[in-house]
């Protein structure tokens, strides 16, 4: 199962462009297009929100943690960056893990939920970014590590994809949805193939 | 000329003079209103953050990280001559204040203009605790990359110029907050990797520029 998280919502508009474009609206459209693309691949897909509603980061992470073998994809729109490009992020792996997870204790603290999935998340991010580089020209060649709060508390391979930028009109950003969705879906497909067995 | 006429003319002259003075005052007030209003945070920053000077201040070429002139999505080091204290905590304060106030050009700004560094502590284990005003959360452009650049500009500036700084903790108004402006996790520490030696008069720092993407601060539990 793939859990798609259209960031923000409700009173939390996310980034806002001078022309009135709001991140929360754009990412919901992107999420719906991505859902269709992933469903075409035969994957089960869940959105953390279906409408303009605000959900806490913990609630969204809980949705991502519910499926036993899922993938979590958080969608964002940036305030900076080359228009029409996108960058993928994964949560940085902690240096020198010495805590309970390293000692083999299975009870995972909420704040360290992502830790066991750091390598998988990075691999997923790399495969998605390769596709973004091809479908959205000018996108970076490699993903970036960033301490995105939302990813830290997800116990699954988890990435955030940020489209640039909110300065564009909503319609312009929505026109990028098919290319963005195709790139992410192809990256997910490659990841599943690489990890043998998949999450279907 | 009759006495009554003289009195009337006198009253008229006084009225015209008073009117002139009033109009000039009014013009001054209008021109003051036309100037940009200072925000509360900016006014507070000016009060709280009077330039910090210590007896150990020495002018050195410090490396400060702002948005690159060539690439708006990346940071680059700019060598700036600053009077910096030998005391690391004061030095860190001076550097962050310079990051906010001495931006080379408007397009290179990373941290909000209204931002105030309320307090900064350097703990014995090398943890820098930087307490910022609310503007950090409300005026930093919301987004993963823009928030990462804000943290990186602080982290890289400390790494390059403050010996002994090992990790960074960011507070807002004295409190731990979940995220910077909706995305970047502020509940943990950002690991710092100091560049040795830090700049001094005798040994200026080697000129190293960040290439995009800038290395994000890594978390350490």
The tokens for A72 are 């979590």
CB–CB of B136/B172 below 8 Å?
yes
Which position has the higher pLDDT, B66 or B25? B66
Q: Does B145 sit within 8 Å of A81, measured CB to CB?
A: yes
Look at A5-9, A49-53, A178-182, B46-50 and tell me which has the smallest mean pLDDT: B46-50
Across the interface, whether the CB atoms of A99 and B187 are under 8 A apart is answered no
Give residue limits of the domains in chain B: 3-35, 45-220
Residue length of chain A: 200
The answer to whether residues B147 and B137 touch, using CB atoms and an 8 Å cutoff, is no
Distance (Å) from the C-alpha of residue B119 to the closest C-alpha of chain A?
A: 24
Res. A101: pLDDT tops 60: no
B107-165: pLDDT as tens digits:
999 999 999 999 999 999 999 999 999 999 999 999 999 999 999 999 999 999 999 99
pLDDT band at A94 (very low <50, low <70, confident <90, very high): confident
Contact flag B218-A92 (C-beta cutoff 8 Å): yes
Q: Is the pLDDT of residue A195 over 80?
A: yes
* CB < 8 Å to B144, chain A: 76, 78, 87, 89, 146, 148, 160, 162
List the end-to-end C-alpha distance of chain A, in Å, as a whole number: 6
pLDDT in tens, A118-171: 999 999 999 999 999 999 999 999 999 999 999 999 999 999 999 998 988 889
Domains of chain A: 2-96+106-194 (3.40.630.40)
Q: What is the bridge-based pairing of β-strands B117-122 and A158-163?
A: unpaired
User: Can you read off the two tokens belonging to residue A117?
Assistant: 């999935």
Using omega within 30 degrees of 0 as the cis cutoff, is the peptide bond preceding B213 cis?
yes
Q: How would residue B208 be classed by pLDDT, with cut points 50, 70 and 90?
A: very low
Element containing residue A178 per DSSP (H, E): helix A177-194
Set of chain A residues whose Cβ sits within 8 Å of the Cβ of B193: none
The interface predicted TM-score (ipTM) is 0.89
> Number of residue pairs across A and B with CB atoms under 8 Å?
96
Q: According to the model, what pLDDT value does residue B180 have?
A: 97
Flag the least confident range among A23-27, A179-183, B31-35. Answer: B31-35
Q: Is B51 on the interface with A (CB under 8 A)?
A: no
pLDDT score of B5 more than 50: yes
At residue B205, the pLDDT reads: 40
State residue B199's pLDDT score: 54
Q: Are the C-beta atoms of B125 and B191 separated by less than 8 Å?
A: no
Give the burial class of B215: count Cβ atoms within 10 A of its Cβ; 0-12 exposed, 13-18 middle, 19 or more buried: middle
In this prediction, residues B174-186 reach a mean pLDDT of: 95
Which H or E run contains A62? helix A57-65
Give the nearest partner residue to B184 out of A57, A80, A146, using CB atoms: A146
- Any alpha helices (H) in chain B, and if so which ranges? 3-34, 40-48, 88-101, 135-139, 144-161
- B96-107: b or e for each residue (b if 16 or more CB lie within 10 Å)? bbbbbeebeeee
- Global pTM exceeds 0.95: no
Which range, B17-31, B68-82, B147-161, has the best average confidence (pLDDT)? B147-161
DSSP 8-state secondary structure symbol assigned to residue A52: S
Mutate to test the interface with A, among B150, B182, B191, B210 (most CBs of A within 10 A): B182
Does position A173 have pLDDT exceeding 80, yes or no?
A: yes
Q: pLDDT at position B203, please?
A: 42
Question: Most A CBs within 10 Å: which of B68, B112, B142, B166, as the mutation test of the A interface?
Answer: B142
Whether A149 and B219 lie within 8 Å, measured CB to CB: no
pLDDT of residue B50: 63
Measure the CA dihedral A64/A68/A69/A74, to 10°: 0
B178 touches chain A (CB under 8 A): yes
Q: Residue B204: its pLDDT value, please?
A: 41
Interface check for B143 against chain A (CB to CB < 8 A): the answer is yes
A76:B184 CB<8 A: no
């Amino acid at each position: 199962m793939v859990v798609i998280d259209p960031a923000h919502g409700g009173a939390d508009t996310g980034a806002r462009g001078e022309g009135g474009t709001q991140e929360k609206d754009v990412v919901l459209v992107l999420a719906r297009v991505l859902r269709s693309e992933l469903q075409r691949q035969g994957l089960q897909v869940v959105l953390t929100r279906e409408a303009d509603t605000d959900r806490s980061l913990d609630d969204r992470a809980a949705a991502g943690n519910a499926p036993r073998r899922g993938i979590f994809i958080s969608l964002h729109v940036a305030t900076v960056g080359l228009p029409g490009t996108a960058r993928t992020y994964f949560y940085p792996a902690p240096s020198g893990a010495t805590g309970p997870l390293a000692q083999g204790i299975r009870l995972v603290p909420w704040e360290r939920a992502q830790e066991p999935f750091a390598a998988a998340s990075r691999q997923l991010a790399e495969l998605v970014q390769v596709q973004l580089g091809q479908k959205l020209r000018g996108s970076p060649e490699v993903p970036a590590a960033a301490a995105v709060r939302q990813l830290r508390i997800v116990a699954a391979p988890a990435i955030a994809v940020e489209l640039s930028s909110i300065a564009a009109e909503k319609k312009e950003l929505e026109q990028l949805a098919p290319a963005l969705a195709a790139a992410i879906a192809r990256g997910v497909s490659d990841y599943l193939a690489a990890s043998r067995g998949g999450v279907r | 000329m009759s006495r009554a006429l003289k009195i009337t003319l006198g009253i008229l002259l006084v009225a015209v003079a008073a009117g002139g003075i009033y109009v000039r005052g009014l013009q001054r007030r209008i021109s003051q209103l036309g100037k940009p209003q200072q925000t509360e945070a900016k006014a507070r920053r000016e009060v709280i953050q009077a330039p910090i000077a210590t007896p150990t201040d020495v002018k050195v070429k410090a490396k400060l990280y702002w948005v690159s002139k060539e690439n708006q999505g990346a940071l680059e080091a700019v060598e700036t001559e600053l009077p910096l204290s030998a005391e690391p905590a004061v030095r860190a304060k001076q550097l962050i204040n310079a990051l906010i106030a001495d931006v080379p050009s408007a397009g290179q700004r990373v941290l909000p203009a209204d931002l105030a560094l309320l307090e900064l502590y350097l703990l014995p284990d090398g943890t820098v605790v930087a307490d910022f005003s609310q503007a950090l959360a409300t005026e930093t452009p919301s987004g993963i990359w823009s928030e990462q650049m804000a943290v990186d500009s602080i982290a890289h500036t400390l790494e390059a110029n403050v010996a002994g700084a090992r990790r960074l903790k960011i507070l807002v108004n004295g409190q731990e907050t979940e995220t910077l402006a909706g995305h970047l996790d502020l509940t943990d520490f950002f690991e710092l990797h100091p560049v040795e030696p830090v700049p001094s008069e005798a040994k200026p720092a080697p000129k190293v520029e960040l290439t995009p993407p800038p290395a994000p601060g890594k978390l350490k539990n």
